[in-house]
Amino acid sequence: MNYLTEERKNSLSSEYVLGTLHGRARLRYQSLLVAHRPMRQALWRWEKHLNALGAALPEQTPDPSVWERIQQRLGFVAEPNNVTSLDAKRAAANRWRWLAAAASIAAIALAVVLMRQPPVTPPAPSQVAVVQGSAAEALWLIELTESNIQIQATSQFAPLPDKDYELWLVAADGRAPVSLGLLPESGRASLARDPLFDRVDVAALAVSLEPPGGSPTGSPTEVLYTAQLVTL
């Protein structure tokens, strides 16, 4: 892939770290990061180079309340009020979020309608994601509940023969994507809820195209789509 020539890797990674990679180029870069370890390594090299500039700034003393709030957020000390839970949600926003083409409100509404029928005993509020195709058509509706991941393939999804579609958790911390299992090509299915969901900020879910049986390498072979989890 020509993105991965040494020069291309360096130019994209350096501008990403500098903050001058914008818009679609930034999104494309982030999906390359998900799939390609050499790209992540180039990123780390440039973080090391350029952020030495930041590390050399003269120290400034933050207000002591900052440490208090960090401890509250991490649950080390009791929260004085509800404000911090809002803070925590904002904390979940991060650079990986960019990667997820934000599902439109209409698509979310559709997901809610489809996933909530027929009405069952309402489970605890969960998170949903809509995996959208290139024309913004909904392909899979995904609901993350407290116990599992429920998935519905829509009728708009036309699977390729001899291919499987694998779902990945993309954590905000830049670790390699974690496989959640294979997506159904029609109808409904459920997957186990990976314990990682409770330990990391989830930047996005990603769907990759794989040979039958799923990724042979443990990494996504070709990332097709990404989607953002939205809390209802």
Partner 1 sequence: MELESQHVKLLCATAEGDRRAFAKLYQATSGKLYAVCLQLLQRRDLAEEAMQEAYVKVWHNAADYHNDKGSVLVWMVSIARYRALDILRSASYRRETRESVQEQADSSGPQGALFEQRDKVRIDECMDTLEDGQRQMIQLAYFRGLTHAELTEHTGSPLGTIKSWIRRGLQKLKRCLEP
Structure tokens at 56: 């050399």
Specify the residue, 62 or 161, whose C-beta has the smaller distance to partner 1. 62
Binding part of the chain for partner 1, among 109-117, 139-147, 168-176, 180-188 by CB under 8 A, reads 168-176
Q: CB–CB of 190/173 below 8 Å?
A: no
For partner 1, what does the binding mask look like between residues 31 and 70, x meaning CB under 8 A?
----------x--xx-xxxxxxxxxxxxxxxxx-xxx-xx
Q: 59 or 162, CB closer to partner 1?
A: 59
Size of the site for partner 1 (CB under 8 A): 51
Identify which of residues 54 and 161 has a Cβ nearer to partner 1 in the complex.
54
Least Å from the CB of residue 66 to partner 1: 5
Is 193 a binding residue for partner 1 by CB under 8 A? The answer is: no
> Going residue by residue from 87 to 126, which x/- string records binding to partner 1, judged by CB under 8 A?
xx-xx-xxx-------------------------------
Q: Secondary structure of the chain: what % helix, strand, coil (to 5)? A: 40, 25, 40
The total of other beta-carbon atoms located within 10 Å of residue 123's CB is 11
Beta bridge partners of residue 141, listed in sequence order: 130, 152
Q: How buried is 96 (Cβ within 10 angstroms: 0-12 exposed, 13-18 middle, 19+ buried)?
A: buried
Determine, following the binding rule CB under 8 A, whether residue 82 of this chain makes contact with partner 1: no
Contacts of 111 (CB under 8 A, 6+ apart): 103, 128, 129, 130, 138, 141, 143
Should residue 20 be labelled a site residue for partner 1 when binding is judged by CB under 8 A? yes
